[in-house]
Chains A and B, each alone.
Chain A
Amino acid sequence: MSQQGISTRHQGREDLVVLLKEAQSKFGYIPEEVIAGLAETLHIPVNDVYGVASFYSFLDTKPLGRNVIRVCKSLPCYLKHSQLIIESVAREIGIKPGETTADGRFSFQLTNCIGACDGAPAMMINDEVHVDLTPEKIARLLKSYK
């Protein structure tokens, strides 16, 4: 069994997204072995599993950092200067959107509307939402993620 500890209580095709999410949270991404293992257990083609894994923006087929920063770039945040937030994050951790820090502490992504427009500009770090961001807030906030 090459699923590396991913729960096997689910058995059907309908659980593919659930299982991929489990893998994502366990490994920080979806390793190739998991994709192959799920294809075997669920009796679906490998390319189909990969197709699902690569479709959703919260699933990644490449390793991510321990903390994933997702800055919202959709219109309500854009109007509230999300560009400044993107620049502050980039400055603070020294990488561009789409990259992961060398020490594996942060991955930096841009995302579409996260439903926090009343607190724009907003971003998510892992599952937490941070609102009413300012460049000053960013430095302090990022320090709390190890």
Chain B
Amino acid sequence: MPQKRVVLRNCGVIDPRRIASYLDRDGFKALAKAQREMTPEEVVGEIKASGLRGRGGAGFPCGLKWDGARKAAGNEKYVICNADEGEVGTFKDRYILERDPFSLVEAMAIAGYAIGAKTGYIYLRAEYHRFLDLLKETINQVNQSGFLDDFDIEVREGAGAYICGEESALMDSIEGKRGESRYRPPFPTTAGLWQRPTIINNVETLMNIPQIILKGASWFNQIGTEESKGTKVFSVSGDVQKPGVYELVMGSHLRELVEELALAEDIKLIQVGGATGRIVPYEMIDTPLDFESILGAGAVMVCDKSRDVIDIVCRTMEFLTEESCGKCTPCRQGTEVMLEILERFYRGEGLEKDIRDLEDLSRVMMLSSLCGLGQAAPNAVTDSLQYFRDAYESRIAGNEGGVKV
């Protein structure tokens, strides 16, 4: 399936510092249409009908989230844009923020109208501090042009924590606390920021909103597959000749992205979805990229045949161990124990029982961790055990090849 620019349609086309260039591209027509021609209920209905699902990794239906917050009791509600892009290998939101911040602000204003919120927050990761001035200038220009009369947007900066990309940890961080995941229910749509109804959407999810409102749900839901409507923006890195950001129609094959566009060769495996993502062996390169198969937040990291799969899994687990917030035991302890075992394999000192322990631990973490980090932390381990079991078995101490290969 082809490349298609929906989310990125203005990137490289408009001047992100001049609202006039955005207005020339139908800027704020969607907001005007929503406010003048549609009720909040109709706006939510349109998003529901579009089939848009969250682009931050979880894939939750956006319209359902909005509907929940719209119907929730209370006068004080919030819209949050999750710009805490911290997943390993993801940089698409950075690409969007620096090229088309106007669409994002317009989308947030539409969301505010739809759920009845007067305040929005953009939670920007500390590593993206350099975009703070641009975002503030964008909000300022939009405000001065009279498009934010009923809606205030504030940019809140993170302070360096992967876990704050997780929605409940993000809200705790805005509240001035350690970014630790919350128990759910209650869900943010009824008790989110300061226990008030809140929607949190990823940057890329929001970028779709203005066009869905302008062109209609029936335009949007013709793009993509049964369960995955629209396009997806991918961040491609690793062993490729052309790393970068690519937008493809949902359901496009992994091969098209990594071999045809990013020009990868001699592929051994591809990690899709970052540290909490899946490991796809080359034999499965014709897997479609959509919610039905694999997707995550769209991080696509390619490893060629010179790479050592145990090394890759080790680095992945090292990241998760460092970034676990520490609130729940399965994640805090599980990632540490896994790393210890994996490093043993890396040194060629694996034990017979280690593989079984990894599998047992994976099950426990998936079942009992508090949030997505711990639940998905074992993915690289279980996938590599499934597709590259030899790499482990050959490095059990005493076995032939019990050294780094």
Q: Residues on A close to B: CB < 8 A?
A: 12-18, 20-21, 51-52, 55-59, 74-76, 78-79, 111-120, 124, 127-129
Contact = CB atoms under 8 A, between A and B. Distances in A.
Interface residues on B, range: 35 or more
Given A20-B159, A118-B91, A79 B86 contact: no
Contact of B85 (A17, A115, A128): A115
B263 to A, nearest CB: 13
B160 A16 contact: no
A104 to B, nearest CB: 21
Contact of B237 (A18, A114, A117): A117
Contact of A128 (B130, B194, B271, B319): B130
B129 interface: yes
B177 A118 contact: no
A58 B303 contact: no
A117 B235 contact: yes
B208 to A, nearest CB: 21
Interface in B160-201: 160-162, 173-179, 194
Interface stretch (B16-24, B136-144, B238-246, B249-257): B238-246
Given A13-B176, A117-B91, A112 B307 contact: no
B245 A14 contact: no
A18 B175 CA distance: 10
Given A13-B175, A118-B243, A79 B88 contact: no
A59 B160 contact: yes
Contacts of B176: 12-18, 52
Nearest to A14: B176
A78 B194 CA distance: 39
Given A79-B307, A113-B89, A118 B237 contact: yes
Contacts of B177: 13, 16-17, 52
Contact of A55 (B128, B157, B179, B274): B179
B315 A75 contact: yes
Q: In terms of DSSP, what is the predominant structure of the interface of chain B?
A: mixed
Contact of A17 (B94, B159, B275): B159
For the complex of A and B, the 10 pairs showing the least CB-CB separation, nearest first, are A16-B176, A57-B160, A56-B159, A58-B160, A117-B237, A76-B237, A55-B178, A118-B243, A115-B91, A58-B126
Contacts of A119: 243
B174 A115 contact: no
Contact of B323 (A16, A112, A120): A112
B87 interface: yes
30 contacts: A17-B174, A52-B176, A55-B178, A56-B159, A56-B160, A57-B126, A58-B158, A58-B159, A58-B160, A74-B88, A74-B89, A74-B275, A74-B319, A75-B312, A76-B237, A76-B238, A79-B237, A79-B238, A113-B86, A113-B89, A113-B274, A113-B319, A115-B91, A115-B128, A118-B236, A120-B243, A124-B127, A127-B129, A127-B130, A129-B127
Interface string B38-82: 000000000000000000000000000000000000000000000
A56 B243 contact: no
Given A114-B127, A115-B127, A117-B89, 17 more contacts: A13-B176, A14-B176, A55-B178, A56-B179, A58-B158, A59-B159, A74-B315, A75-B315, A75-B316, A76-B238, A79-B237, A113-B88, A113-B319, A117-B91, A117-B301, A127-B129, A127-B130
B286 interface: no
A83 to B, nearest CB: 11
A52 B175 CA distance: 11
Given A14-B175, A112-B88, A120 B237 contact: yes
B276 interface: no
Contact of B161 (A16, A20, A51, A56): A56
A78 B275 CA distance: 13
B228 interface: no
A1 B175 CA distance: 24
Interface in B223-280: 235-239, 243-245, 271, 274-275
B245 A118 contact: yes
Nearest to B159: A56
A120 B239 CA distance: 11
Interface string B86-129: 11111101100000000000000000000000000000011111
